[in-house]
Amino acid sequence: MTEQMRTSTRDLDELRGRTAAWLRAQVGGDAVVSKMSRPSGNGLSSETLFFTAAWGGRETRCVARLAPALEAVPMFPSYDLRAQFEIMRLAREKAGIPAPRALWFEPDPAPLGTPFLVMECVDGEVPPDVAPYTMGGWLHDASPEDRRRLQDASVEIVAALHQTAFARPELAPFGPAGLRAHVEAQRAYYAWAHGDLRVPVLERAFDWLAAHWPDDPGPDVLTWGDARIGNIVFRDFTPVAVLDWEMAAVGPRELDLSWMIFMHRFFQDFAVSMGLPGMPDFMQRDAVCAKYRELTGYEPRDMDFYEMYAALRHGVIMARLWRRRIHFGEQPMPADPDDLVLHRAALEELLAR
């Protein structure tokens, strides 16, 4: 978790030239693209490019999101960038969520080798994944009051999205509604991500879910999917940009709440494993659910179930990520496939509970 992981096989200089040629076709022949780079701390699924675009006497700092090349061992079987573009636009325009301003969606793979979207770049601070924010840095060193302000503001984003009644046709790109469909999609993702390789701790977690299914999963809403502070740009502990909508789906509210809670636990457990105190009083279930209830009037339910599901979902992703690292020679294949799941201990603790 402290080393930069390889996420792309594409040449940056070539991408800059091809992006400039594409941009000139959009805005005119004087367009120039410069200062292209990739992120260093977060963003391990889609390929992300930062660049400065200048045309017509103006200059705009941009971010492009591309589906990764097949040889880069993609994290997901498909990347619906059109849906991501639309959800950012809807979240900004209809829910008042500070999603980045969506500039262009390019469906034609010819310009860069894959469809892509471009949005405005927003300045601020993001709690990093590598090295985790629980191990040090601006959020770790903040006052309890500022941490709580950031926590509450993050929950407010989820509440605002859930409370917005998007029209049903606009939900269509995000797949079938309901908890059952969501879990079945995760089973399919597990099968795709790992093929003939079985990861027993993940299969035990699927069995646990089947045995502890909620009596009433509750109403479906449009969920962010990757609802965590590492996907938010903050300025003075206030969200100014909400990123990474590729896991958006229709399902119970608890999907987002449990993901936000568990993802902090994941990074907190990592800090503790390194002999550091981390941030044990941050993003705790009772406080997150209480704030959500205050904002929406909805009482989150069956959170033990959803915490297990969040741990399972993240386990499938982490095992795929570790296999990518193995592919690029960054680490060997473990003798025990369960060790592909970095938070194996947390999953086993939840199963025992």
Burial profile 226-256: b = 16 or more Cβ within 10 angstroms, e = fewer? bbbbbbbbbeebebebbbbbbbbbbbbbbbb
Local confidence band at 177 (pLDDT 50, 70, 90 cut-offs): confident
Length of the chain: 353
pLDDT value, residue 44: 57
One domain, residues 303 and 170: yes
The answer to whether residue 193 is domain-embedded is yes
What number is the average pLDDT over the span 135-162?
97
Q: Would 50 be classed as within a structural domain?
A: yes
Question: Within 10 Å of residue 223's Cβ, how many Cβ atoms?
Answer: 24
pLDDT recorded at residue 321: 92
Q: Is the pLDDT of residue 221 over 80?
A: yes
The answer to whether residues 242 and 150 belong to one domain is yes
Residues 163 and 294 both lie in one domain: yes
* Final residue in a domain of this structure, among 68, 85, 120: 120
Q: Region 107-115: what's the mean pLDDT?
A: 93
Question: In this structure, what token pair is assigned to residue 17?
Answer: 């030239």
Q: Say if residues 240 and 124 touch (Cβ distance below 8 Å).
A: yes
Same domain for 196 and 100?
no
Last residue of a domain, one of 120, 152, 179: 120
Question: How many folded domains does the chain comprise?
Answer: 2
pTM, entire model: 0.91
28: domain CATH number is 3.30.200.20
In this prediction, residue 266 carries a pLDDT of: 98
* Shared domain check, 167 and 287: yes
* pLDDT surpasses 90 at 62: yes
226 is catalytic: yes
- Asked whether residue 1 is assigned to any structural domain, the reply reads no
Vertex 120, ends 57 and 128: CA angle to 5°?
135
- CATH number of the domain bearing residue 290: 3.90.1200.10
Position 135 in a domain: no
Whether residues 32 and 165 share a domain: the answer is no
- Give me the domain span that covers residue 70: 12-120
Same domain? For 157 and 254 the reply is: yes
**Mean per-residue pLDDT, 107-134:** 95
Q: Are 67 and 174 contained in the same domain?
A: no
Q: Would you give the end-to-end CA distance of the chain in angstroms?
A: 27
What pLDDT score does 5 carry?
45
Q: Which of 226, 244, 269, 302 is catalytic?
A: 226
